[in-house]
Amino acid sequence: MALVNQFRQILCGIALSALAMAPAVAARDNYATDSDYEGLAVAIDRDLPDFPRQKRRWTQEAWVRLSYVVTADGQAVDPIVINSSGGIDFENEVRKVTERWRFKPSDTGAELPYNIANMRFVIRGRGKGTTRKFARYAKHIMKNLHGNNVEVARRHADEAVEIGGWNLYESTILWLMLGRIEGAEGNDAGKLEMYRRGLAVSDSRSLRRNARIDLLEDIFELESKLHQYAAAMVTLETLSDVRGSSEVLEHLSARSAAIVEILDNQDVVAAQATVSNPCNCDDGVALWDYIPIRRTFSFANLNGNVERFEARCERQRISGIVETDQKWTLAADWGNCQVFVFGDDGATFDFLGHLPDSEEDQAIDRTAVARNYVLDRRD
């Protein structure tokens, strides 16, 4: 059963891991930022963000995934926080440092809109277990989840998020528990968002290989259920890279074959989308991001305030107001693309991918679709 083993490990190990209390952190050298990047831009000068001064006295660690555009003269502009764990202070530090980044101008003299940075704020020498405070929250949350006291579990989880100060190990556990709560409340979109976040902040210590396989399986199932087929196929690719996943891949083979059939033959594919705030804070910008499976897209079934979109491709970007009677096309020579949709937290809509009319255009569409988008892997 997916993720059951992971939560059993949490419950069994929480008391022992709570003894691995975080040491007091005072020296600046104890703080570090790890990073990785995606995109065509060639960096000349790309400093790492500083650890937020107001967070240095805590044991808090964080992760931020950021999109940015490189201008024709090599500056990084228009940052978008795609997802994060840790709060607005870490997001602001990443935004701030991107203003100082410099890149080699593109050969064509045009901007390069498709660039991603992943930043992990870590404390060197920090024990990777849980503090006693977090252990108490985790026990209360899991006890009430198992007792079907979802409202009480939600209250404890929301309080844990509000308090903050957790390391990435604790954040992994917290996001997975929040995913369980969202699922118990019948919110598949929220469950998917929390599970994606838990996967992104995890490493091999907080999410062991078998639990990682279970989590990827659950994410695939949720993406399939919400008709987010492009994301589901990439999750399947990510799962195939994890050693020991062959049995799960075999179990999912019929579903993946059905998705391929839909993508090849169905004229319109509607992904069910929910706008959400990546940092769960008042200052965050609510959005939904997606790698489109088809290059012609439109919007339908708007519910709530869905304002605008921006599509960032490797060689071009477009933006516009979200309207239900308008189609947009991402040209094949623009390269891989990512679409961002902005609105109010909780607003929903359908993101429609349209199959081109001619067989020739259909072939181009299938080969030109972005397929390199992967969730952060910490194998």
HEC profile for 117-140? EEEEEEECCCCCCCCHHHHHHHHH
Say yes or no to pLDDT of 6 above 60: no
Q: What is the DSSP letter of 29?
A: G
Strand partners, 81: 66
Measure the CA–CA gap between 224 and 262, rounded to whole angstroms: 11
Under a CB-based contact definition with an 8 Å cutoff, are residues 210 and 244 in contact? yes
The tens digit of pLDDT for each residue in 277-296 reads: 998 778 889 999 999 989 99
- How much is the average pLDDT of 63-67? 96
The tens digit of pLDDT for each residue in 88-131 reads: 999 999 999 999 999 999 888 899 999 999 999 988 765 567 88
The residue among 183, 186, 206 whose CA lies nearest residue 63 is 206
Q: What is the DSSP letter of 331?
A: -
Number of other CB atoms surrounding residue 157 within 10 Å = 24
Residue 278 structure tokens: 């990546």
Under a CB-based contact definition with an 8 Å cutoff, are residues 85 and 200 in contact? yes
Going from N- to C-terminal start, the domains of the chain cover 4-20+128-264, 28-123, 266-368
- How much is the average pLDDT of 160-177? 92
The tens digit of pLDDT for each residue in 184-222 reads: 999 999 999 999 999 999 988 889 999 999 999 999 999
Specify the pTM: 0.87
Instruction: Identify the pLDDT of residue 164.
Output: 84
Residue 303 structure tokens: 């519910």
Instruction: Identify the pLDDT of residue 293.
Output: 84
The CA dihedral of 223, 288, 96, 171, to the nearest 10 degrees, is: -40
For residue 38, report the phi and psi dihedrals to the nearest 5 degrees: -130, 145
Residue 181 structure tokens: 């709560």
Share of the chain above pLDDT 70, in %: 84
Say yes or no to pLDDT of 271 above 60: yes
Say yes or no to pLDDT of 17 above 70: no
Name the 3-class secondary structure at 218. helix
Instruction: Identify the pLDDT of residue 1.
Output: 53
The residue among 71, 65, 91 whose CA lies nearest residue 289 is 65
Measure the CA–CA gap between 186 and 358, rounded to whole angstroms: 40
- How much is the average pLDDT of 228-237? 92
More confident call, 368 vs 297: 297
Under a CB-based contact definition with an 8 Å cutoff, are residues 33 and 51 in contact? yes
Say yes or no to pLDDT of 341 above 60: yes
Say yes or no to pLDDT of 346 above 90: yes
Rg, C-alpha atoms of the chain: 21
Measure the CA–CA gap between 238 and 373, rounded to whole angstroms: 10
Under a CB-based contact definition with an 8 Å cutoff, are residues 361 and 295 in contact? no
Instruction: Identify the pLDDT of residue 9.
Output: 52
Reported as half-sphere exposure (CB side, CA atoms, 13 A), residue 282 has a value of: 1
For residue 170, report the phi and psi dihedrals to the nearest 5 degrees: -65, -40
Name the 3-class secondary structure at 223. helix
Task: Report, in this order, helix, strand and coil percent for the chain, each rounded to 5.
Answer: 40, 25, 35
Measure the CA–CA gap between 237 and 260, rounded to whole angstroms: 13
Instruction: Identify the pLDDT of residue 13.
Output: 47
- How much is the average pLDDT of 320-343? 94
Share of the chain above pLDDT 90, in %: 69
At how many degrees (to 10) do helices 132-146 and 168-184 cross? 20
- Name the amino acid, one letter, at 63: W
Mean pLDDT over the full length of the chain: 86
Instruction: Identify the pLDDT of residue 206.
Output: 85
Say yes or no to pLDDT of 254 above 80: yes
Measure the CA–CA gap between 279 and 82, rounded to whole angstroms: 9
Number of other CB atoms surrounding residue 114 within 10 Å = 25
Number of other CB atoms surrounding residue 53 within 10 Å = 10
For residue 120, report the phi and psi dihedrals to the nearest 5 degrees: -120, 115
Measure the CA–CA gap between 95 and 78, rounded to whole angstroms: 9
Say yes or no to pLDDT of 367 above 80: no
Location of structure tokens 């210590």: 205
The arrangement of secondary structure in 266-368, i.e. its CATH architecture, is Sandwich (2.60)
- Give me the CATH code for the 28-123 domain, please: 3.30.2420.10
Say yes or no to pLDDT of 368 above 80: no
Instruction: Identify the pLDDT of residue 374.
Output: 30
Reply yes or no on domain 4-20+128-264 having CATH 1.25.40.
yes
**CB under 8 Å to 52, separation ≥6 — which residues?**
89, 90, 92, 93
The tens digit of pLDDT for each residue in 130-158 reads: 888 999 999 999 999 999 999 999 999 99
